[in-house]
Structures are given as C-alpha cells and as structure tokens.
Amino acid sequence: MTGRTSLQVALALALFAPYSALACTCSWTGPFLTVAPRAQLIVRAKVIAHTDRSRGVDRAMDVEVLEVIKGLSRARRLHIWGDNGAQCRPYVSGFVPGTEWILAVSRVNGGLEQGDYAINGCGEYWAKVENGIVAGRLTGPAPPSVNDRPESMPLSEVRTRLRAR
C-alpha cells in the first residue's frame, strides 16, 4: 500500500469508527414469558400514536393502558421509547397505531427520556394481542430466526403465567 492509500484507509476508518461505536450490541435474553417478568411494569396497551420523529424515524409512542398486569402504575397513558438507530430497543414502527400489545417496560433514568418508559430489545419484551389471543415468541428457547412462526395462547393464560413470577 502506498502512503497515500494508507492515509485514505486510516481516514475512512476514523470517520466511520464513531458510528459503529454507537450501534447496539446485545445477546438475546429469551422469549416473552421468560424475560417480561424482569421488567418493572407489564401492561396491556393500545398504541395511540407514534411521536418524537427525528431524521425520518419515530422514536417513541404513546399508548393507552388497558390493564396493568404486573407492577405499579396509575397512569392511563404511557410514553414509551423505542430505538433511535443506536439503542437495543425495537423500532416503534412495528407497533401500528390502533393495535393492542402486552408490553414489558422499564423506566428511563436519564436524559431527554427521563421518567418515560422504554422497551428492551435484547429479548422478546412484547407480544401482540388480538381477540383475546396473545401471539409472538412466547416460550421458544432459541434466538429468533426468519423461519419462526408466532406462538399463541389465550390472554388469560398469559396473565396467569406473568403474575405467577
């Protein structure tokens, strides 16, 4: 490599290194019924709207709390943060307004999001609810793959399992 080429390569690495350092890395910690009980609050909620748009990405969502399954909250609405491209959280675009979910969330302890909630993305901390049936990666022991099919079980059984932990 010539001196000029080496300099160009070094410059390119220096320019892109900060961006790669911002990326999220985490190991998958498990399916919904394993990881959800670790969260501070588990709610059944309806997505009202996506909010806090930046660079074309909705970074948060407002939800209406339909039921507190585990934890303490009197709030009828929660502001929940998703991913901004550099955090280990799901993008809120996957939670379509009008849909219902069971969300296992934890309080954010600093910065702009102080006092709000966030969904961890290093496991399945969410499951969709439709017509009294909960669907998602509920019990599967292996990390998700593109060939997975969602598991389903009655909402009443999911409630019982979550409250028993």
At residue 2, the pLDDT reads 58
**What are the extents of the domains in the chain?**
24-163
At residue 23, the pLDDT reads 64
At residue 141, the pLDDT reads 74
- Which of the residues in the chain have pLDDT under 50? 6-21
Q: Does the pTM exceed 0.85?
A: no
At residue 18, the pLDDT reads 38
DSSP result, 55-121: TTEEEEEEEEEEEEEES----SEEEEE---SSSSS--GGGS-TT-EEEEEEEE--SGGGTTSEEE--
- Cα separation values, 46 from 27, 74, 164, Å: 28, 16, 24
Q: How many CA atoms are closer than 13 Å to the CA of 82, on its beta-carbon side?
A: 24
What are the tokens at 79?
């502001």
Structure letter (DSSP) for residue 124: -
At residue 16, the pLDDT reads 39
Over the stretch 44-64, which tens digit does the pLDDT of each residue have?
999 999 988 878 878 899 999
Q: For domain 24-163, which architecture applies?
A: Beta Barrel (2.40)
